[in-house]
Structure 1
Amino acid sequence: MNEATSTVTDAAIDWDAFVPREETQAIVEASRDHFAALFSPDDLRRTLDGGARPDVWDPLVDHGYTLIGLPEELDGLGTLVDLTALLEEAGRALLPAPLLTHAMAAQLLLVAGLLDETTAASRLAFALVRGEELHVFDGADADVAVSVEAAGGASVVRVFTLTGVARAILPAVDPSHPFARLPLDGIPSREHPAPHLDVALAAPRTCVAADLVGVAARGLDGAIAHALGREQFGRPIGSFQGVKHQLADLYVLLERARSLTLGSAVAAASARDSGEASRLSRLAKATAADAAARSVALQTQLLGAMGLTFESDSPLAVRRARHTIPLLGGPGQLYAAVAAESLGGAR
């Protein structure tokens, strides 16, 4: 059994981590209130009209959000489980700031043993190498970009210094999370070996799953609120079986995604070089992507024509879901990879 398919033993898992801590709940409550105070849906709508996104990065840094999930020796706070709880709230709020990409890059640097105090204090972003170009997720203002590529049975993490480097901003489904494109030639960089590619991506993929769980939760909350308030034939539409069953199915899917994301975070925190964390992260990301896609679609469907208008909040969630879902693999690709790995192990 190779490194990518190894499993974590029961003794290696911190089962207490599955029980919500008071500190985690405090992060959830504080961040939810804080995000609501930092910006409004109208601020997000202005980005769709070509306006600048709200500048909320400095308040996020000042409140210590970028330190959550980092080791104590780097002045970190909490655990990877706390980070996923925070990112779920960021997804629920449709946070127009590069917190997700920063967390992905920081977690990738941790796996490679490259995160230090200087790097942790920088504005980080996750990137993909595409031919002779570097595509940086939400990287319009990033100081450092981090990418990872397969290298035989392992991988190579590359760290790019972007300070002072001009970049082109690509059109995006969600302009509040823009992609940046830079030519590789001339960008200072360094390389470092890392574990198997899917193992190295376990924690970053868990971060994406958490964000999508938040988007899905927002869509479900909106769908439920509309189903309870909208009446037809003298009854709330939520009382009709055709509506309530869809909402119930979506709730089950959302809770499955949330549980898988939590399991992935616990496994990655217990052993960052574990194949079990890799497997769970792929399942979590795939399920969270399914939940987000179905959630925003159901909310739009229940709202009817109003759900397609610019004045509705529904298109904001649709854009965020569709923008984030392809990151680090679509659902079909990830499910197929886990199935192939399981069938290969069975043989």
Structure 2
Amino acid sequence: MNEATSTVTDATIDWDAYVPREETQAIVEAAREHFASLFSPDDLRRILDGGGRPDLWGPLVDHGYTLIGLPEELDGLGTILDLTALLEEAGRALLPAPLLTHAMAAQILLTAGLLEDTTSSSRLAFARIHGEVLQVFDGEDAEIGVAVDAAGAASTIHVFALTASDRDIVPAVDPSRPFARLALDTVSSQESTGAPALDVVLAAPRTCAAADLVGVAARALDGAITHALGREQFGRPIASFQAVKHQLADAYVLLERARSLTLGSAVALGVSRDSDEASRLSRLAKAAAADAAARSVALQTQLLGAMGLTFESDGPLAVRRARHTIPLLGDAGQLYAAVAAEALGVTR
């Protein structure tokens, strides 16, 4: 990687990209309204209670969500900035459909130059190889699993053809986003060696996961604020108490830090997918989003008190989603440590 492609400088960044375009705002508004019409918190509670997920894949495809962030030659729409805005809304809604895992897998193939028309129209899912087992994130109905591992300075992309008879659905913290598990010797696969370095390939999917967690954090914080404004103690809303104000303010700072880093990562990816800056910002964005989501869901539960632990409350829905997604592609401590080691020139 030469110096021209490895560094994103102030001169190459389009700072106007940090201001949401009208098209991006339109996507956000339309998606928020659409997601609200597709399912309700009661539907999510039914999933947690053992009911099946509603089949939302058709509506997502029909509305073009799976094409957002892909290039025009693949009939794509918008940019990766639009994709992160969409995924934040999906996270805020706690969408019980595999939009995030599809986007992550598609972005891996796109960065590696392997995404094709036929591939992008299938149900993709991000996968991980654990010994002789393939674990597919939100892979209950996925048709293609995409995994990536390091191969020296480069990486290897694995594309698995999945069939319904092969997979076991693994109990998960969030049943609306289940894992599928398959024995490697039961699925056919293709490998592509010589793909870009692992952190380069994972930069876009990490940014996608960060956007999803930012949405979860925003939902939980909004719920905490709404409750604090309406709940009274000693004749005053608890939002007027300094102890509550400070906690809400701290959670808001964490949320805005995560949102800014996610946006910055998307901007850097739009400039150059193989830049060191995009790789670094994606790790920081995912780490910050994990922090924000963990803090916001915990604060909502704390402010709701005993009610926040009940099945009828919306709080546990966000808690489950956050805890299920936070470990994906590295938890906060691992990602901060990796960025620090890189900055200090320390070999890990």
Band the TM-score falls in, shorter-chain normalisation: over 0.9
Measured after TM superposition, the shift of residue 165 of structure 1 is: 4.7
Structure 2 CA distance for partners of 1:267 and 1:165, relative to 1, 3 Å: farther
User: Following the alignment from structure 2 to structure 1, what is the Cα–Cα distance between the partners of residues 58 and 245?
Assistant: 42
Measured after TM superposition, the shift of residue 163 of structure 1 is: 3.6
Matches of residues 81-120 of structure 1 in structure 2 within 5 Å? 81-120=81-120
1:240-261 residue CA offsets vs partner (Å, 9 max, x unmatched): 0000011011111100000000
Give the counterpart letter for 2:74 in structure 1.
Answer: L
Task: State whether residues 218 and 255 of structure 2, in contact with CA within 8 Å, keep that contact through their aligned partners in structure 1.
Answer: yes
The answer to whether structure 1 residue 127 and structure 2 residue 127 are counterparts is: yes
Task: State whether residues 32 and 89 of structure 1, in contact with CA within 8 Å, keep that contact through their aligned partners in structure 2.
Answer: yes
Task: State whether residues 136 and 145 of structure 2, in contact with CA within 8 Å, keep that contact through their aligned partners in structure 1.
Answer: yes
Matches of residues 174-253 of structure 1 in structure 2 within 5 Å? 174-192=174-192, 193-253=194-254
Measured after TM superposition, the shift of residue 146 of structure 1 is: 0.3
User: Following the alignment from structure 1 to structure 2, what is the Cα–Cα distance between the partners of residues 20 and 278?
Assistant: 22
User: Following the alignment from structure 1 to structure 2, what is the Cα–Cα distance between the partners of residues 12 and 162?
Assistant: 41
Measured after TM superposition, the shift of residue 136 of structure 1 is: 0.2
Give the counterpart letter for 1:207 in structure 2.
Answer: C
- Aligned residue number for residue 64 of structure 2: 64
- Aligned residue number for residue 159 of structure 2: 159
- Aligned residue number for residue 296 of structure 2: 295
User: Following the alignment from structure 1 to structure 2, what is the Cα–Cα distance between the partners of residues 179 and 164?
Assistant: 13
1:230-288 residue CA offsets vs partner (Å, 9 max, x unmatched): 00011000000000011011111100000000000111121111111110000000000
User: Following the alignment from structure 1 to structure 2, what is the Cα–Cα distance between the partners of residues 31 and 196?
Assistant: 34
The answer to whether structure 1 residue 140 and structure 2 residue 140 are counterparts is: yes
Give the counterpart letter for 2:303 in structure 1.
Answer: L
- Aligned residue number for residue 46 of structure 1: 46
The answer to whether structure 1 residue 31 and structure 2 residue 31 are counterparts is: yes
Task: State whether residues 7 and 276 of structure 2, in contact with CA within 8 Å, keep that contact through their aligned partners in structure 1.
Answer: yes
Task: State whether residues 60 and 66 of structure 1, in contact with CA within 8 Å, keep that contact through their aligned partners in structure 2.
Answer: yes
- Aligned residue number for residue 168 of structure 1: 168
Measured after TM superposition, the shift of residue 343 of structure 1 is: 0.9
User: Following the alignment from structure 1 to structure 2, what is the Cα–Cα distance between the partners of residues 272 and 104?
Assistant: 14
User: Following the alignment from structure 2 to structure 1, what is the Cα–Cα distance between the partners of residues 15 and 50?
Assistant: 47
Name the stretch that deviates more: 21-30 or 189-198. 189-198
SS in 2 for 1:157: strand
Measured after TM superposition, the shift of residue 2 of structure 1 is: 8.5
- Aligned residue number for residue 79 of structure 2: 79
SS in 2 for 1:11: coil
Structure 2 CA distance for partners of 1:238 and 1:132, relative to 1, 3 Å: same
User: Following the alignment from structure 2 to structure 1, what is the Cα–Cα distance between the partners of residues 162 and 13?
Assistant: 38
Give the counterpart letter for 2:180 in structure 1.
Answer: A
Task: State whether residues 111 and 272 of structure 1, in contact with CA within 8 Å, keep that contact through their aligned partners in structure 2.
Answer: yes
Aligned-residue Cα RMSD (Å) equals 1.4
Task: State whether residues 207 and 266 of structure 2, in contact with CA within 8 Å, keep that contact through their aligned partners in structure 1.
Answer: yes
Measured after TM superposition, the shift of residue 14 of structure 1 is: 2.4
User: Following the alignment from structure 1 to structure 2, what is the Cα–Cα distance between the partners of residues 157 and 265?
Assistant: 22
User: Following the alignment from structure 2 to structure 1, what is the Cα–Cα distance between the partners of residues 305 and 16?
Assistant: 44
Measured after TM superposition, the shift of residue 53 of structure 1 is: 1.1
SS in 2 for 1:52: coil
SS in 2 for 1:12: coil
Task: State whether residues 166 and 186 of structure 2, in contact with CA within 8 Å, keep that contact through their aligned partners in structure 1.
Answer: no
Give the counterpart letter for 2:212 in structure 1.
Answer: D
User: Following the alignment from structure 1 to structure 2, what is the Cα–Cα distance between the partners of residues 70 and 308?
Assistant: 40
Q: Which runs of 5+ in 2 are unaligned?
A: none
The answer to whether structure 1 residue 310 and structure 2 residue 308 are counterparts is: no
TM-score by length of 2: 0.97
SS in 2 for 1:30: helix
Give the counterpart letter for 2:60 in structure 1.
Answer: L
1:26-84 residue CA offsets vs partner (Å, 9 max, x unmatched): 00000000000000011111111111012111100000000000000111000000000
Task: State whether residues 250 and 291 of structure 1, in contact with CA within 8 Å, keep that contact through their aligned partners in structure 2.
Answer: yes
Identity of aligned residues (%): 81
Greater than 4 Å deviation, 4+ residue runs: none
Task: State whether residues 165 and 187 of structure 1, in contact with CA within 8 Å, keep that contact through their aligned partners in structure 2.
Answer: no
- Aligned residue number for residue 19 of structure 2: 19
Give the counterpart letter for 1:335 in structure 2.
Answer: Y
User: Following the alignment from structure 2 to structure 1, what is the Cα–Cα distance between the partners of residues 289 and 183?
Assistant: 32
User: Following the alignment from structure 1 to structure 2, what is the Cα–Cα distance between the partners of residues 164 and 297?
Assistant: 37
User: Following the alignment from structure 1 to structure 2, what is the Cα–Cα distance between the partners of residues 164 and 218?
Assistant: 34
Task: State whether residues 268 and 277 of structure 1, in contact with CA within 8 Å, keep that contact through their aligned partners in structure 2.
Answer: yes
1:166-202 residue CA offsets vs partner (Å, 9 max, x unmatched): 2000010000000000011131111113111011100
Task: State whether residues 141 and 164 of structure 2, in contact with CA within 8 Å, keep that contact through their aligned partners in structure 1.
Answer: no
Task: State whether residues 215 and 321 of structure 1, in contact with CA within 8 Å, keep that contact through their aligned partners in structure 2.
Answer: yes
User: Following the alignment from structure 2 to structure 1, what is the Cα–Cα distance between the partners of residues 240 and 17?
Assistant: 38
